Copies of this chain bind each other. A is one copy, B any other.
Amino acid sequence: MAPAQIDLNSDLGEGFGQWTLGDDDALLDVVTSANVACGFHASDATIMRRVCARAVQSGVAIGAQVGYRDLPGFGRRFIDVEPEALTADVVYQLGALEAFARIAGDRVRYVKPHGALYNRIVHDERQANAVVDAVAAFDPALALLGMAGSAIERAAAEAGLRFVREAFVDRGYRADGTLVPRTEPGALLSDESEIADRAVRMVTDGVVVTVDGGEVTIEADSLCVHGDTPGAVAMAVSVRGALAAAGIGVEPFA
């Protein structure tokens, strides 16, 4: 039995000052959960205000895309931050975004770590616990969105936080369910219809075809579509269309 519905999440609000990245408005018409950058690795107050207002208008759930404090590196470089400082940095970002979510008439519903932080807390327990500590202190009702089988999933479970597993519609998977590293062939898919088919099978069958031609089980509560590549919007539209055609509803998990 296929689930009746799935969530589509995407990174949004990733411009900074005069600079833009991705088409926030177009994506907000397609996705159901917006991972809004909070000003540490991307975004600023003006962008956050606008994206939150637009998300609420569109019925899109607002999530906090928290990251390392590294605008020049876009949060894509591991920083060996002490856990206490990382906890405080995440709380700061959550509070800032919450202000804009509330002004827009809603609240922050979940947290999705970004970039190098996302990758680090798949295996680094100290930083994973630091992120969980921040969420638990700020609002234990918030969900954490991340990779199944990760250190952050375990830390969330221990702290009693809801953890939401995501799958990537355009990333290659290995036989053990992990992602093909970006430095290897097959890491990134680009064929729109193949990607849309994968998205449907992830939901209906709970499997994905691996890079070596087999299949692996995927349990996903949310599908991630990328927002910062050329063709990102078209791909998201195509995925959403294929899900609808397969009778799968698209709704926020939060």
Binding site for B on A (CB under 8 A): 15-21, 39, 42, 44-46, 48-49, 69-74, 76-82, 84-85, 88-89, 91-100, 102-103, 116, 137-138
> Residue A18 contacts which of B21, B81, B100 (CB distance < 8 angstroms)?
B21
Hey, which chain B residues are within 8 Å of A69, CB to CB? 72
A121 shortest CB reach to chain B, Å: 15
Within 8 Å CB of A17, what residues of B?
A: 71-74
Return chain B residues, CB-CB under 8 Å to A95: 95-100
Find chain B residues with CB under 8 A from A96 CB.
92-93, 95-96, 99
A49 and B91: CB pair below 8 A? Answer: yes
A8 CB, min distance to chain B CBs, angstroms? 23
Known A18-B74, A45-B88, A88-B46: A103·B39 in contact at CB below 8 Å: no
**Most chain B beta carbons < 10 A, residue from A16, A73, A77, A91:** A73
CB-based contact A72/B16 at 8 Å? yes
How many angstroms between the C-alpha atoms of A73 and B69 in the bound complex? 10
30 A-B interface contacts by CB (under 8 A): A16-B16, A16-B19, A16-B71, A16-B72, A17-B72, A18-B74, A19-B19, A19-B20, A19-B21, A39-B92, A44-B88, A44-B92, A45-B85, A45-B91, A49-B88, A71-B71, A73-B81, A77-B79, A77-B80, A77-B82, A78-B78, A78-B79, A79-B79, A79-B80, A88-B100, A91-B100, A91-B103, A95-B96, A99-B138, A102-B138
CA distance A84 to B80 in the complex (A): 20
Q: Which residues of B contact A16 (CB under 8 A)?
A: 16, 19, 71-72
Would you call B48 and A103 a contact (CB within 8 A)? no
- Could you tell me the distance in whole angstroms from the C-beta of A94 to the nearest C-beta in chain B? 6
- Which single residue of chain B is at the shortest CB-CB distance from A68? B79
